[in-house]
Structure 1
Amino acid sequence: MRIEQTELADVLLLVPQPFHDARGFFTRTFDAEAFDERLGAPGAAAAFVQDSQSRSARGVIRGMHGRSGRGEAKLVRCAHGAVHDVLVDIRPSSPTFGAQQAFRLDDKDFHHLYVPPGFLHGFQALTATADVCYRIDRPHDPAEDIGVAYDDPDLGIAWPLTVTQISARDAAAGSWEQLLRTVWRRPASR
């Protein structure tokens, strides 16, 4: 497994090396030793405590979600289908604060992301169905949920498809400006 740095500070792209044959394929989706070595933190992989999976229909957007407090680290991969996955750095002290990057995650290349604490995350399903798997480093606490509207003009995320459905929670999400003012107590500017 290769692990590459992305344009966003501290976000890593994990690139498995699948083996294909007449039966199908086999791939290692996670390697704790390689992960710990890349982070320079022995035992970092053991911090992941919860796995979740979602299934979405084509055009569905889930996001943009984050956590306040100490945040959460996550590994994200698409086990079936394909998604347009977007991250926005919301760490005020980061050199890439306010920057975003999009990734295609799918069941062909098997790429997945290590997302450190302090990012908004969202995705849009590109295929008839898409299963996304998340591994997070602490139990979910709804009291720390934060979000920004997927169509916030200040973020200007370029979603590739017409949006077919979002949750009530995502429809009620605030703006980037509100996040800056209320969560980080900063003036609204990127």
Structure 2
Amino acid sequence: MLHHEQYMEGKVWWCSEEAWPHLCTWWCCDDYKAKREKARRARLSPTDVAQNHGGSCKFTETKQLLKHKYGPEKASDLKTYQVMKSGMKNIDLATGDSGPISSQKVHKRLNDYATSASAEHPDDWDQRPFDPAILYDINGGLLHGRLPLGVGALSKTSAKSAARSNNMKPSNSSSYRAVLRENQELR
């Protein structure tokens, strides 16, 4: 952290002359330092986050870029999601495939979706748009108001609509389904 004088020397152009000294004082006070440290620990604490690594590109922009550079077969919803999780800089330039994805949480989401989608659409599940009913089901509903994949690819109202039209209610939680899957594998 810088000292007050160092902050004062580094004034940014967009901040007014009156406000800058107040900001510098705030950044040097104990309250701010405690909040900053708490936020830093919170950012570093998750061991397996499922953050996007696609920069500031939205899902639809990433999909359009993949389609333009590598063709429509590389721009499916699933492949776009994989690229967003591995990062645009990690794309295999020769094939257009995503780079390695380090998050186990993302791998689980992809495997859950692949299992359900391939059972529903065995021939072309990986080229179809995300199926809102499958997303709703594998997530056990809209936990925390979110879908597990494809933020930006479809709205949560479409997932709710798909669930209502099929008269679907998530049969059980994803953790319970994981236990069932493990039991099935043990047999």
Question: Which range, TM-score by smaller chain?
Answer: under 0.3
Indicate the structure whose relative CO is greater, using CA pairs within 8 Å and at least 6 residues apart: 1
More helix by share: 2
Relative to the length of structure 2, the TM-score reads 0.27
